[in-house]
Amino acid sequence: MPDEKPLTPATDAVKALARLLHEPEIESEPREHIQAELKSAGIDTAALLKSVREKINQAKSRQRLATAHERRQALLSKVTRLKATAARGGTRLLDQVKELLDAQFAGQQQAAVLFRKFEEAKEEDLQSLLDDIVLLDAPDDEEHRPGT
């Protein structure tokens, strides 16, 4: 019991009864009851679910794009480093390139083609080779990104 009498005890009692009426425990309530009440209130849960599903799919696409972007940035940075090494005539360059291509494009035929091109490439060809590698790495989603 509260120490002080509320200013509107009767209204507070009615509010409490309204809460009791409209907020029963619902964990064990049969689903049919819930569906009937929602229907009578005009709530279309199927439409609500459809809209949520669409937003979930959009969120998944955003995550795929973010992952692809991160992967692309990481790859670009590696290729750029290799290019710098190539310019200095590094000794293990070809091995490093092969490792990179194997790691990024395992199982893809283009990787072998790119490696052959890299073996034969002159310094000035490296930029176009880099572009080829980036293009090969770009997933479908990336191509559909606005502005690309």
Partner 1 sequence: MSELTPDALAKFEQTVTDEFIERLSIFALRRTRSRYWRGVWDGHLPGGNGARDIVAEALDDVLFGRRTWNPEKNPDLLDFMRSVVNSKISHLQTGEENLHCKLAHEEKDEEGREHVEKLPTNPATTADEQLQANEDETRNSELIFLFYDFVAGDKLIQGIVGCTIEGVTRRAEIAAALKVKEQEITNANKRLERCFKEFRKAHADKNPFKSPRT
Q: Does 74 bind partner 1 (CB under 8 A)?
A: no
Distances in Å between the Cα of 82 and the Cα atoms of 36, 68, 77, 97, 118 are 66, 21, 9, 7, 11
Closest distance between partner 1 and the C-beta of residue 83, in Å? 32
Return the biggest CA–CA distance within the chain: 92
Task: Check residue 25 for interaction with partner 1 (CB under 8 A).
Answer: yes
Cβ 48 to partner 1 shortest distance, Å: 5
Q: How far is the CB of 106 from partner 1 (least distance, A)?
A: 22
20 binds partner 1 per the rule CB under 8 A: yes
8 A C-beta contact, residue 105 and residue 47: no
103 scored as a contact of partner 1 (CB under 8 A): no
Which residues contact partner 1 by CB under 8 A? Answer: 1-2, 5-26, 31, 34-35, 37-38, 41-46, 48-49, 51-53, 55-56, 59-60, 62-63
